[in-house]
Amino acid sequence: MPYTRWPAAFHHLLGVQMYEQANVDAPANTLGTPLAHDPGERLYWQRLDDLSRELAKRLEQRKQATESVAAAPAPQEAPASPPPPGAPAVFLAETTPDLDEVRDTIRRYLQQASLRVLPETYYDRTPAAFRSAMEADLAQSLLFVQVLGPYAGRKTSDLPKGYEGLQLDVAEARGLPVLRWHVPELEVAAVRDSELLARAPVMVMPLEELMREIVKAFAKQQAAQTMSTIEGDGVQVLVNAKSCDEQTVQTLLQVFDQQGIRYDTADESDNLETLVEQDVFHGLMVVYGRCEQQWAKEQVRACRQLLLRKKQQAPVCAVYLGPPDEKVPLGIKLPNVPHVPHHDLAAIAKFLLAVQARMAQA
């Protein structure tokens, strides 16, 4: 049934298509009939599973809303994975019908990784209304993902670039990072909308690799967003490293400079506990890169003594795991001294947020 014939109460829902089309001009074919053990009906049952999960979620939401009116809900465990409604999201652009299955696969993967995926509602097909709804969703998104294929949607006088081109227009105007992709097997010369394909860089890799790249790119954007909330004014961090890790230290200090964070450095000739007693440090980071494992281990033990002795007045401690990535494991890990990989901006941001909070408590 077309969306225009849906009951008004359902107009905002995405729905689940139980049919497929080879392209926008091809007739729609029903995915299958209910024969549960027929391997040829895999896509039908996958879509049916999507529908059942969405129905279960909606029914649970209605139940919780009803219960909250009658009485305060009893304490219960928080859901394991779904992000909250207002959480930052990945915007997964609409595609031509032949790519629906690929798009569904990406959406499922991202949701299983606990990422929110937009759009969550069906857009009005009027170009102006479509643009307005998309802009509202992009305001909650950190990343725009577009899957490309050989076919193109219909274009009209008020939609000269089709919905595919319109979505890219809106994302670029918003300034979001754009990830576009097509399968390695795509015959580029046969693509109907060559202009759309050429408008921005396109990644060409296996689907599994793309999905991992989306998660990594999202984490990077989320970390950058967190960094933007850190106010370095008044925060001071002590970086403890051997001279052989000087280059790693300089890279870390560049991050601190960008955030306006004050810092001091200590090397193997300094006594860590004495430096902490002589000045006010809200954070302390031990660098374990090219130095000997035993030296770094001793510094972490010194951190433990500081935490035990100074308690709430102690700096927030962490181990910065610098390059090379392949080295002897540190051999000590304390519950309140996290290990921060040099390539993990999210972990660095989490450390700095904790340091900022410690300064606020001082």
| Sequence ranges of the domains in the chain | 1-70, 80-228, 232-361
Cβ contact 177:214 at 8 Å: no
Side-chain half-sphere CA neighbours of 350 within 13 A = 17
Do the domains at 80-228 and 232-361 have one common CATH topology?
yes
pLDDT in tens, the chain (362 residues): 555 566 666 656 666 666 666 665 666 666 666 665 666 667 777 777 777 777 777 677 666 655 554 554 443 444 445 788 789 999 999 999 999 999 999 999 999 999 999 999 999 999 999 999 999 999 999 999 999 999 999 999 999 999 999 999 999 999 999 999 999 999 999 999 999 999 999 999 999 999 999 999 999 999 999 898 888 888 999 999 999 999 999 999 999 999 999 999 999 999 998 999 999 999 999 999 999 999 999 999 999 999 999 988 899 999 999 999 999 999 999 989 999 999 999 999 999 999 999 998 87
- Contact between 196 and 165 (Cβ < 8 Å): yes
How many Å apart are CA 235 and CA 60, to the nearest integer? 45
Contacts of 25 (CB under 8 A, 6+ apart): none
Residue 35, H or E segment: none
Strand-pair category, 19-20 with 29-30: antiparallel
Predicted TM-score (pTM) of this structure? 0.68
Question: Cα(332)–Cα(341) distance, rounded to whole angstroms?
Answer: 15
H or E stretch covering 39: none
Q: What is the assigned CATH class of domain 232-361? A: alpha beta
Nearest Cα residue to 145 out of 186, 112, 176: 176
Q: What CATH number belongs to 80-228?
A: 3.40.50.10140
CB 286 within 8 A of CB 317: yes
Q: What pLDDT does residue 332 have?
A: 95
The Cα–Cα gap between 44 and 296 comes to: 56
Amino acid 230: pLDDT? 87
β-bridge mates for residue 341, sequence order? 321
